[in-house]
């Protein structure tokens, strides 16, 4: 029997938080030909079975201190902490390294490759324009980070990306060859459609809201839509970030807040909603983000098997998915009239189970495992 190939996986985030971790946890059990050691940095040990904490990341501290340190790192200075992380990863027996190119993960990958390691990169968000470019604190770092980030992608042995839009973007901008790897979903759960409700409309949401203005506009339109039909409006928010609680307070009579909860429980709750909500910000500086990213909530919504209300510009990965698989309605505007018309359409929309299953196979099927396995196998090839 041949030896299982040893892969050291590094993520600059905890394995029990966020969509990126959900994607990794869906793929790793399927990679049976590999012995994967998952190492991560976070502000504290999350005591997650199957992953090992190797200390805090490269950030932290006061805003000024963090910005100055980030500028130093993206200027390609190898700080003692960055050197220590690289040594920690290279001290583990490995046929190759699998690195999440998220924030400091990119910098760790660069150092590893400078020391001769074979690296596969997973890109879930474009760092300079998809993360830094949208940030008030880090946006000035985007021009500094861009050359380092792009050079690191080009030097990797292989790269997988989160969406077809990202694959096209890197191919046209960098001449980079990459493969699309989504989350893996083996099958859709059995769900029961919500009972008809003549006097109420209920909308579900899980995870990140990316812009308060768009969400506020949707809530106002949902309230107005319900009032004209003498209905009660309700929006169930699972895991809403603290910075958006002010908007929730403005619509306290209709917003139900549920803390972060295991996805299985969240799916059970949201599958009782009339439809679910996903959005991308409309502002110009979010252009690269919305064209290249793909919200993990799309896979959660597929598990819910409820129509998706896409509140996003037409040039976005979310719009691409909705158009390709007819899973809901796209509203590329935040005007009251456009939102009202889109809500009316989706409130009456039924998506057959077979359509959800077709989308599952196309987006989240075994081809994702095969593509990733091929990349990891290539790390140990001669």
What confidence tens digit (pLDDT) does each residue in 271-315 have? Answer: 999 999 999 999 999 999 999 999 899 999 999 999 999 999 999
Fold agreement between 5-184+365-379 and 200-362: yes
Confidence (pLDDT) at 300: 96
Which is more confident, 158 or 3? 158
Strands 328-331 and 255-258, sheet pairing = unpaired
Fold of 5-184+365-379: Rossmann fold (3.40.50)
Does the pLDDT at position 332 exceed 80? yes
Cα distance between residue 179 and residue 261, in whole Å = 31
Sequence length of the chain is: 382
Give Cα 193 distance to the centre of its chain.
27
Does pLDDT of 8 surpass 70? yes
What pLDDT does residue 61 have? 64
Q: Please state the domain extents for the chain.
A: 5-184+365-379, 200-362
Write down the pLDDT at residue 66: 78
Residue 2: pLDDT over 70: no
Instruction: Return the residue matching tokens 């307070």.
Output: 249
Tokens of 63: 């805003």
**CA-closest candidate to residue 76, choices 110, 121, 120:** 110
First to last CA, the chain: 20
Average pLDDT, the chain: 94
Q: What is the CATH number of domain 200-362?
A: 3.40.50.2000
Residues 6+ apart with CB under 8 A from 253: none
pLDDT (average), residues 41-52? 92
Q: What is the pLDDT of residue 182?
A: 97
pLDDT tens string 232-254: 999 999 999 899 999 999 999 99
Distance between CA atoms of residues 366 and 135, nearest Å: 35
Q: In this model, does residue 45 exceed pLDDT 60?
A: yes
Contact 86, 115 (CB under 8 A): yes
For residues 278 and 269, give the distance between their C-alpha atoms in angstroms, rounded to a whole number: 16
């Amino acid at each position: 029997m041949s030896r299982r190939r040893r892969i050291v996986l590094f993520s600059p985030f905890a394995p029990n938080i966020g969509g990126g971790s959900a994607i990794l946890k869906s793929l790793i059990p399927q990679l049976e030909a590999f012995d994967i050691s998952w190492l991560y940095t976070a502000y504290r040990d999350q005591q997650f079975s199957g992953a090992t904490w190797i200390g805090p990341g490269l950030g932290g501290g006061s805003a000024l201190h963090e910005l100055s340190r980030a500028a130093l790192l993206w200027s390609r200075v190898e700080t003692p902490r960055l050197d220590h992380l690289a040594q920690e990863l290279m001290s583990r027996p490995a046929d190759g390294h699998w690195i999440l190119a998220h924030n400091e993960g990119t910098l760790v990958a660069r150092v590893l490759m400078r020391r001769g390691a074979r690296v596969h990169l997973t890109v879930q968000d474009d760092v300079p324009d998809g993360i830094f470019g949208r940030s008030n604190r880090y946006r000035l770092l985007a021009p500094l980070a861009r050359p380092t980030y792009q050079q690191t992608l080009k030097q990797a042995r292989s790269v997988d990306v989160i969406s077809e839009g990202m694959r096209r973007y890197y191919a046209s901008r960098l001449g980079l060859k990459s493969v699309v790897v989504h989350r893996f979903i083996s099958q859709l759960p059995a769900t029961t459609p919500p009972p008809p409700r003549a006097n109420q409309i209920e909308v579900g949401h899980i995870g990140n809201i990316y812009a308060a203005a768009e969400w506020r506009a949707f809530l106002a339109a949902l309230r107005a839509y319900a009032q004209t039909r003498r209905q009660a409006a309700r929006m169930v928010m699972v895991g809403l970030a603290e910075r958006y609680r002010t908007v929730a307070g403005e619509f306290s009579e209709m917003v139900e807040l549920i803390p972060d909860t295991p996805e299985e429980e969240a799916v059970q709750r949201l599958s009782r909603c009339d439809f679910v909500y996903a959005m991308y910000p409309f502002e110009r500086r979010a252009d690269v983000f919305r064209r290249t990213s793909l919200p993990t909530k799309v896979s959660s919504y597929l598990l819910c098997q409820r129509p998706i209300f896409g509140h996003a510009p037409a040039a976005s990965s979310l719009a691409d998915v909705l158009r390709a698989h007819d899973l809901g309605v796209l509203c590329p505007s935040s005007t009251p009239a456009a939102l009202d018309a889109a809500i009316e359409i989706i409130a009456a929309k039924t998506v057959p189970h077979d359509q959800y299953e077709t989308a599952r196979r196309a987006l989240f099927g075994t081809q994702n495992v095969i593509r990733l396995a091929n990349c990891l196998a290539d790390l140990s090839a001669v």
